Structures are given as structure tokens and as C-alpha cells.
Amino acid sequence: MKKSILLSAALIFASMIIRAQTIPNAGFETWTNMGSYNNPDSWSCLNDMTSAMATYTCVKGTPGSPGTAYLKLTSKTVNGLGVVNGIAVSGVLNTTTMQPVSGFAFNQRPANLTGKWQHMIYGTSQGFIDVQLTRWDAQSQSRVTVASKHQVLAGMAMSWANFTIPLTYVDGGDPDSCIIMLSASGSVPTNLDYLWVDNLGFSGLVAGISAVNSAPIISVYPNPASDKLVIDLSALNDKNVSIEIIDLQGKQVKSVDKIEVAANSFVDISDLSKGNYVINIHTSEGISKTNFIKE
């Protein structure tokens, strides 16, 4: 009897762990009624900000593929605000910076983000899907990027199409957090640009960093940072190191052709706007990537 109870408890615990590691509301089946509009559970969007103007960039679409519902993101012209990008984040979204603040607990190392989409733009600024897997590093007291991918949409998908977005791993540890950001437009949204998404999930498994990236692991701190980043390049033999900083719209906002290779190499970021960025560190051994927050 005792063994049976223990076995049942273990199975329940294991199933809880498995469920905890999936993307929350991945099929966009559950929504909360806010009165005149609905918000997708476990996802942040801009509806609360634009509801005063009776305009909504995040809408429940039906039927799903599969399921009963899907996510409809549409960039729309809002009185007093101009064209507002259709954005959703699997966690908390800062409506001032339009950048994600936090995500959901996640400790796996998947190879790909998968799902279904439809998308279209009416201008020149393509939307995107951004994935960030990070972990807390006790030694540097900062968040370290484990894997990431910024996938800019290409062309159009006028009917439901499957997609697979491969993640790029830059750290051998297990993540503890995941943020997924979906955007109907890029940095210059056009009225009626749209991105519809359904049936999100992860596939595959990456056992070690060597399978996808042979570049050395480089520490970047503090994170968040306000005026300077410190990059530890002491493990490199290479003396010809360059960096580039990319915003979440995929635009290069800063580059340094040659940086001093030392344990404490500094990069001035005081001129950057507040938000999330990716820093690419180019060496002869490969490219190391990590993300940071400018506060």
C-alpha cells in the first residue's frame, strides 16, 4: 500500500515537472475577459494601454489550428499614439520601452521553437519572433544567455504554415527562464501588419554547447547595466576581437571593430535606450552571444 502511494506521488510530481516546462497557454486556448476585450492568459500585450481608445492589437482568433482559438497580433493606428505594434510576450511586457521584463520558468535545452503562423506586412518593416533562454549566474550576479534566436519574418504566409526556428546555444548550463516575444512589425510598424500564431512548442534536445557553437564562453556583466558593460576576454588567445550590439528588432545599434583583450574590457552603453539587447562577440574561435538589459 505504501509503495503504491509513493509511486502515485512520484508520477504526479513527475507530471507536474513536465507540465511546468511547457510554454504557458501555448495554443492560446484560454483568455481572460477584461470587459470590452480579452487578454491571452500568461501573455502580456498592449490591449490594456490602448483600450481607452477602443483599439486592440491583440485579439482572440477562432478556430485554432488545431484547437478552438489562436493569437491575432495586428499593428494598428491608435489615436494619440500613432501606429502601435502588435506585440505579445510570454511573461511581463514593459509598455513604455516595448521590451520584455520577465518570462516563465524553464530548465530544458530544446533545439527548436515550433508552431504555426500566418503573417503579412503593408510596409517595409518585417515582424519577428524572439526567443531567449537564460540562467542566473551566482558568480557574476547576473543573467547569462544560454540560447537565443531572433527570427525576422520573411515574405508572407497567407494560410497556416508550420515553422521551426533553431536556437543558437552559447552556454553549456541549463536555463532557468524563457522569454518568447512575438511581434507583427519591426521597428517601423505599418497599420494592419499582422502575425497570427498558434500551437507553439519546443522540439529536439541540445545536450552540449559543442553541438551548435564552438566559441568560448565569455562573461558579460553587470546585467542589467546602466552605462558600461564589462567583458571578460582573458580566456582568449585572439587579439583581434570585435563586438556588435543588436536590439530586439534586429538592428545594429553599436559596434566596436577592435576591443582590448583583457579580464575587464569595457564597452560604453550610456548612449543606448533602455531595453533588451544582444551582444555578439566576434573572435577567431567563433561568435559568442549573450543578452543584456540597459536600465
Q: Lay out the sheet containing 252-256: strands in order across.
A: 252-256, 242-247, 275-283, 286-294
Instruction: Note the pLDDT of residue 14.
Output: 36
* pLDDT at residue 250, as a whole number: 67
The candidate with the shortest Cα–Cα distance to 183, out of 249, 128, 253, 242, is 128
Domains 25-203 and 214-294 share a fold: no
Convert the pLDDT of each residue in 169-228 to its tens digit.
Answer: 888 889 999 999 999 999 899 999 999 999 999 999 987 654 344 455 677 888 888 899
The correct CATH number of 25-203 out of 2.60.120.890, 3.40.1190.20, 3.40.50.2000, 1.10.10.60 is 2.60.120.890
Domain ranges of the chain: 25-203, 214-294
Predicted pLDDT at 17: 36
The pLDDT of residue 43 is 97
pLDDT of residue 48: 95
CA 229 to chain CA centroid, nearest Å: 21
Pick the CATH number of 214-294 from 3.60.15.10, 3.90.1150.150, 1.10.10.1100, 2.60.40.3080: 2.60.40.3080
pTM value?
Answer: 0.72
Return the pLDDT at 7.
41
